[in-house]
Structure 1
Amino acid sequence: MSETEAARGPLAGLVVIEMGTLIAGPFCGQILGDFGAEVIKIEDPRKGDPMRQWGRSLPKGLSPWWPVIGRNKKSVGLDLRTPEGQEIARALIAGADVVVENFRPGAMEKWGLSYEALSAQNPRLIMARVSGFGQTGPYAQRAGYGLIGEAMGGLRYVTGEPDRPPARVGISIGDSLAAMHAAMGVLMALHHRDRTGRGQVIDAALYESVLAVMENLVTEYDLTGYVRERSGSVLPGIAPSNAYPCAGGELILIGGNGDTVFARLTEAMGRPDLRTDPRFADHAGRGKHQAELDAIIAEWTGGQALPDLLALLEEKGVPASRMFRAPDMLEDPQYRAREAIVETPHPVFGQVKMQNVFPKLSDTPGRVRWPGPELGQHTDEVLAERAGCTAERLAELRRKGVV
């Protein structure tokens, strides 16, 4: 494989039309673009994707979210609510491999962009449809944001402290899980298309994408009647595995629940007696006496500085970590060695740091080629090349507000 071919990424040559907004659809497009697909993002020509304005802070009036979720994409301003915009969308899709959309079910059909109509024109087309509840069922037409999927999928109920209301994870995990399932579905559909020549629809529901990662929650209830509850920072019955205080108010995470790892932890603590204590001698006993064991470990960690504890536990082979925040990530040698954070040029910010492309492929790794583009930055280029629009036609469409 030539160096140039490898640098293009494993999905080079794949044409993706992204028609969604916010996170659930666009993160799917980001994943595909990260690995070399040509992602053409269709946006409202007046306002664009709301992610261009979202964020806790707006440095230089711009969202720091957009450079990440918009990266490696081409932006085309196109009003899909107009007949001319729909006609141009059909022309673009006729030459595409994949469409990603996360509108409420029925919107694409209302615009004459149903899969049946599009696949009649392009039988190889794959359509990834991300929605709150899926394309079918009694809830299909309900509005469904990520938090609703997290609630219905079971994640919200088990997140947080047991004596408080359910907590948010801290990121839009429901949207991201749905996007990842959609991207995974696209790759499976591409493999099937290679064998059959036919595309298909990926129906990724937010609540089902959350449900998929809920481990044995349903099965345990079915077999035993046990309903999993919130347990805070501990995993009930698995000990020690918790966050413990250090001197100066910092926290350390320690995972020492396996028998051999627990033995190494007791050595680090200078407490070999814990190894033979009937309460803690085996996995079941440690789980049963979890609170007692956590109190003993917390007393030990509380009088020591975090860096010293981390060094000692590393020496003894006990899994441990600080609580990483963004500043820690930028300074950490593991992050640096694997280039987990990259810096890319930005027309306004100059340089912008963001997470790299994951997972790492040995021969055809993905990469960040450019950050999120300006609204409509590629409209003329894409519509001239892929929809046959002349300069005169583009000028007419611009006068009408279609692009």
Structure 2
Amino acid sequence: GAGPEILDDHVGLADQVENGVRSFGGTTSMMFRTIARNKRSVTLDLRAPEGADAILDLVRQSDVIIENFRPGTLERWNLGPDRLAEVNPDIVLVRISGYGQNGPYKDKTGFGGVAEAFGGLRHITGYPDRESVRAAAPIGDILAGLHGAVAALVMLLARRRDGAHSRPAVADVALYESVFMAVESLVPDYDAYGINRERTAGNLPGVVPSGVYPCRNGSVMIAGNSSRVFGRLMEAVGRPDLANDPTLADGDVRYQREAEIDEAITLWTTQYEAAEAVTELDAAGVPVGEILSAADIVDNEHFRSRSMLQSHKIRIEDDLEEVRMPGVVPQFDGVATPVRWVG
């Protein structure tokens, strides 16, 4: 089938993505086109009666509404959950905000970067001897969107089930809580062991060996932190003594000897080009990958084979340019989902 129809409503005020976010040429940024691919867009002023009426007409024909205003905004426009349910009793509503629909911080302005700080991620990201850093991707926004999508599916499935059971119709997704879910045992480790995690560069505490290792050109990411993979990795880098050390089957012991293990791996990787190191470790059954830039990705056979790079003609300034857009995740039944149009 054609799949769900997604309408992206840019409400009243100029869209934030198009005002100050990564537009290097032309009138529409590639970031907006990427986010809006396969969506239809319309701009409405919901504070005006005509805009509100247009939204309610769309609600009558829709299954899911997703909004990301500050709590109370839709209610002030008389477009809150009760009003939407009057128009379409089957509608499900996903509400995404910085701090959630209730609690003492609910009225605070919230963006993804602030949520990453408040949710605990920023404090543990970066090097211990300097200020924390932000990942070069909108982690908070992406995680909240994924949690919102899951919430919408849960509510739609509940709506379809027969019998007497709860049928939730409104999901409350907070940006900071979506980030907090990603830091896993941050707080349980604090309560159980008194560990207040700090920044540890690119490694996760206790996950050894796992990290970026230098090669003759560039570097590779190696994840040898399970006991069986660790043994194969040590054999591959010429350290059978470490592979056969029974104490190193214990992850806690590997953590205590992290510097020794990392040195052994680095001595081996620096003898190879990155691609050669990947080939050797692939053959040994060790999870490994080159660290790819955009220029590397567009030349990568695996990205191309799975249609994760889909070309479209896009007007930039006065010329049509061939632009490779990200594909769609997931594939269904082994068939890649096409990018039918860009925003």
The TM-score normalised by the length of structure 1 is 0.78
Question: Residues 325-377 of structure 1: CA distance to partner in whole angstroms, max 9, x if unpaired?
Answer: 111211112212212222234355443212111122217864322100xxxxx
The correspondence for 1:213, drawn from 172, 182, 189, is: 182
| Aligned counterpart, 1:15 | none
Task: Please give the root-mean-square deviation of Cα atoms over the aligned residues, in Å.
Answer: 2.3
| Aligned counterpart, 1:357 | 328
| Aligned counterpart, 2:67 | 101
C-alpha displacement at 1:53, in angstroms? 4.1
The correspondence for 2:125, drawn from 149, 159, 162, is: 159
| C-alpha separation in 1, matches of 2:193 and 2:234 | 34
Output the amino acid matched with 1:233: G
The TM-score normalised by the length of structure 2 is 0.90
| Aligned counterpart, 1:150 | 116
2:239/2:264 contact within 8 Å kept? no
CA spacing shift, 1:145–1:207, aligned 2, 3 Å: same
1:235 aligns with 2:204: yes
| C-alpha separation in 2, matches of 1:258 and 1:127 | 42
| C-alpha separation in 2, matches of 1:217 and 1:39 | 36
Residues 2-401 of structure 1 mapped to structure 2, 5 A cutoff: 5=1, 8=2, 36-44=3-11, 48-195=14-161, 200-248=169-217, 250-277=218-245, 280=248, 282-346=250-314, 348=316, 349-362=320-333, 366-372=337-343
C-alpha displacement at 1:190, in angstroms? 0.6
Q: Where do 5+ consecutive residues of structure 1 fail to align?
A: 9-35, 373-403
Q: Where do 5+ consecutive residues of structure 2 fail to align?
A: none
| C-alpha separation in 2, matches of 1:195 and 1:238 | 42
C-alpha displacement at 1:43, in angstroms? 2.4
CA spacing shift, 1:304–1:180, aligned 2, 3 Å: same
* Higher RCO by CA contacts (8 Å cutoff, separation 6 or greater): 1
| C-alpha separation in 2, matches of 1:183 and 1:307 | 37
Report the number of matched residues.
337
| C-alpha separation in 2, matches of 1:261 and 1:102 | 43
Output the amino acid matched with 1:258: S
Output the amino acid matched with 2:5: E
Output the amino acid matched with 2:328: V
C-alpha displacement at 1:294, in angstroms? 0.8
Output the amino acid matched with 2:220: I
Output the amino acid matched with 2:184: E
2:212/2:222 contact within 8 Å kept? yes
Output the amino acid matched with 1:357: V
| C-alpha separation in 1, matches of 2:168 and 2:193 | 42
Output the amino acid matched with 2:71: P
1:132/1:145 contact within 8 Å kept? yes
1:53/1:62 contact within 8 Å kept? no
Higher strand share: 2
| C-alpha separation in 1, matches of 2:92 and 2:241 | 61
Output the amino acid matched with 2:96: V
Output the amino acid matched with 1:187: L
| C-alpha separation in 2, matches of 1:84 and 1:257 | 59
| C-alpha separation in 2, matches of 1:318 and 1:75 | 45
Question: Residues 60-79 of structure 1: CA distance to partner in whole angstroms, max 9, x if unpaired?
Answer: 34311111111122222322
